[in-house]
Each structure stands twice: as structure tokens, then as C-alpha cells.
């Protein structure tokens, strides 16, 4: 927590924002991740229906190209009109049909697996999209506020909340840049800053937060893994999207580069 920055904001009473092995990884599913999807993933929902629509948009963007056209059509909001707050689960039959005749690379298989597993269970990964001059939703505030109340900024929080009418995005940006995720009792809560700087596109940020942090937490990869797994997940997304960039992790978490950041994340 940058206390100096917080004190400056308090004195000025104005909003500001800052930039911030030898074994195949598919051995557990008989080398057939498409037919044997792990049922212990977690579903995704937006705070609002608009948030859910943006999640759909971002996940679809992670799978470009004609080979994924049928798979992208499975990434939809729930409900008869496909306008619900959560994303619809994907059955094994639907997945097999969507990818019939498609030969996936190891990277593509891994990302499909992670996304489908994240859609197919009962833990909730809640996502909201906000602008930098806004406050978090009530649901988001309940998720993020305990960390601030127990941290270095605890004595300033009542005044910050009063001055801003809630938990402001600038505080999230100071700590986490233009995307942030915290674990919750039944999953995770992510926020993505709409008008933030996303050098490789907003879908990469969304994937880093929802899957890299949220999914890995729910899959049992706790705090000590929250530097390595999200960065490797981000690099996986970048490769599948065809973006020639490698996040070394130097500007993430503890600020140290990750050995072999291009490896596949361990969770699915």
C-alpha cells in the first residue's frame, strides 16, 4: 500500500488514478482433455448482465480464428435469451461437437480446458468492469474492503469511503494496476478497469484475473502461487491469441521475474 499516495489524495480530497516434465500435462485425463473435462471447475458471473456480456466478449476474443468459431458460440450468457448474469456451462457433448475435426495444439487444449472447467461448477467467480473514476459495486466492496481494513491503510479507510461514496477504483489501481482479484468464500471477485491501460488488450487482463488468479485459487493454488500461475496463464492466453509478447512477471506481485514464464500453468 502506498500510504504517501493515499495521504496526498486525502489532503486534496480529489480522485486520482495511477498506472500503474516428462509426463504430459494431460496424463490425468488420458491425453484426451476434450472428452474428459474436470467437473470441479467454477462458473463465472457478472455483477450485472452488462458485466456478463463483457466477460463473454473477452473470453471469445481469447480464441481467434476459424477453428474456434463453433467453440466461441458456446461462450454465452445463461438464460433462454442468453442475457443472464452468469455464463452458461458447456457440456462434454457440446464441446466435442464444437471441436470435431479440429486439431488443437497443447496450448490451445490447455486454455480450452481451463475455460471450460471454470464454467462448469458451483464456485462463483464474480467479475465487474468499472472506469477509473468510479467506485466498486457493493458486492465488490464487500470482497475487497476486508483486505484494506486489515492493511496499512486501515486508519484512512473511513475517510476514503466517505469522501468517495464507496471504495474507489483509484485505490485498486494503486495496488493492482488495471485489474485485480481477491478470493472469496465461494470463489473470487475480479475487477477490470475499462479505461485502463491494457497493452495487449482487455481480454488478456480479464483472462489473467479470472483464470490466472480466480481459477487457480479455487483449484487449490493459494497465495504462494499467485505470482507464478497468473503470469503463466497470461502467457498462455497471449500465445493462443497469437500475440508476440512474454510477461516475465517482473512487474507482477513481488516484482521478481518468473523462471520459465512460458510454461503451462499447473492447474486446469
Q: Categorize the per-residue pLDDT at 185 as very low, low, confident or very high, splitting at 50, 70 and 90.
A: very high
Question: How many whole angstroms separate alpha carbon 209 and alpha carbon 189?
Answer: 9
Q: 149: helix, coil or strand?
A: helix
pLDDT digits (tens, 9 = 90+) for 69-98: 999 999 999 999 999 999 999 999 999 999
Q: Are 49 and 84 in contact (CB under 8 A)?
A: yes
Model pTM above 0.75: yes
pLDDT digits (tens, 9 = 90+) for 143-177: 999 999 998 889 999 999 999 999 999 999 998 89
Q: Is the pLDDT of residue 3 over 80?
A: no
Q: Are 85 and 48 in contact (CB under 8 A)?
A: yes
* Beta carbons within 8 Å of 226's beta carbon, 6+ residues apart: 213, 216, 217, 253
Rg (CA), the chain: 19
pLDDT at 108: 98
pLDDT digits (tens, 9 = 90+) for 205-215: 999 999 999 99
H or E segment at 187?
strand 187-193
Question: How many whole angstroms separate alpha carbon 29 and alpha carbon 11?
Answer: 57
Dihedral in degrees, nearest 10, Cα atoms 29, 32, 37, 40: 20
- Torsion sign across C-alpha atoms 6, 11, 16, 19: negative
Q: Are 124 and 162 in contact (CB under 8 A)?
A: no
Question: How many whole angstroms separate alpha carbon 267 and alpha carbon 46?
Answer: 23
Q: Is the pLDDT of residue 35 over 80?
A: no
pLDDT digits (tens, 9 = 90+) for 17-34: 323 333 333 333 444 444
Amino acid at each position: 500500500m502506498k500510504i504517501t499516495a493515499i495521504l496526498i489524495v486525502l489532503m486534496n480530497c480529489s480522485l486520482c488514478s495511477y498506472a500503474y516434465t516428462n509426463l504430459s500435462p494431460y496424463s490425468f485425463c488420458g491425453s484426451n482433455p476434450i472428452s474428459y473435462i474436470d467437473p470441479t471447475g467454477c462458473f463465472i458471473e457478472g455483477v450485472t448482465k452488462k458485466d456478463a456480456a463483457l466477460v463473454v466478449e473477452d473470453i471469445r476474443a481469447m480464441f481467434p480464428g476459424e477453428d474456434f468459431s463453433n467453440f466461441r458460440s458456446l461462450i454465452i450468457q445463461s438464460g433462454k435469451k442468453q442475457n443472464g448474469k452468469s455464463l452458461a456451462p458447456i457440456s462434454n457433448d457440446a464441446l466435442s461437437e464444437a471441436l470435431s475435426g479440429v486439431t488443437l495444439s497443447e496450448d490451445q487444449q490447455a486454455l480450452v480446458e481451463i475455460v471450460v472447467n471454470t464454467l462448469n461448477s458451483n464456485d462463483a467467480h464474480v467479475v465487474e468492469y468499472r472506469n477509473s473514476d468510479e467506485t466498486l459495486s457493493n458486492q465488490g466492496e464487500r470482497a475487497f474492503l476486508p483486505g484494506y481494513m486489515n492493511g496499512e491503510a486501515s486508519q484512512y479507510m473511513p475517510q476514503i469511503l466517505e469522501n468517495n461514496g464507496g471504495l474507489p477504483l483509484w485505490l485498486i489501481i494503486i495496488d493492482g494496476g488495471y485489474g485485480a482479484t481477491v478470493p472469496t468464500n465461494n470463489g473470487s471477485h475480479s475487477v477490470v478497469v475499462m479505461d485502463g491501460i491494457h497493452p495487449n488488450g482487455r481480454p488478456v487482463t480479464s483472462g489473467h484475473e479470472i483464470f490466472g488468479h480466480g481459477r487457480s485459487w479455487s483449484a487449490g493454488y493459494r497465495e504462494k502461487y499467485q505470482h507464478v500461475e497468473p503470469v503463466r496463464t497470461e502467457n498462455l492466453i497471449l500465445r493462443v491469441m497469437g500475440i508476440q509478447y512474454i510477461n516475465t512477471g517482473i512487474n507482477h506481485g513481488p516484482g521478481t521475474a518468473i523462471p520459465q514464464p512460458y510454461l503451462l500453468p499447473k492447474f486446469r
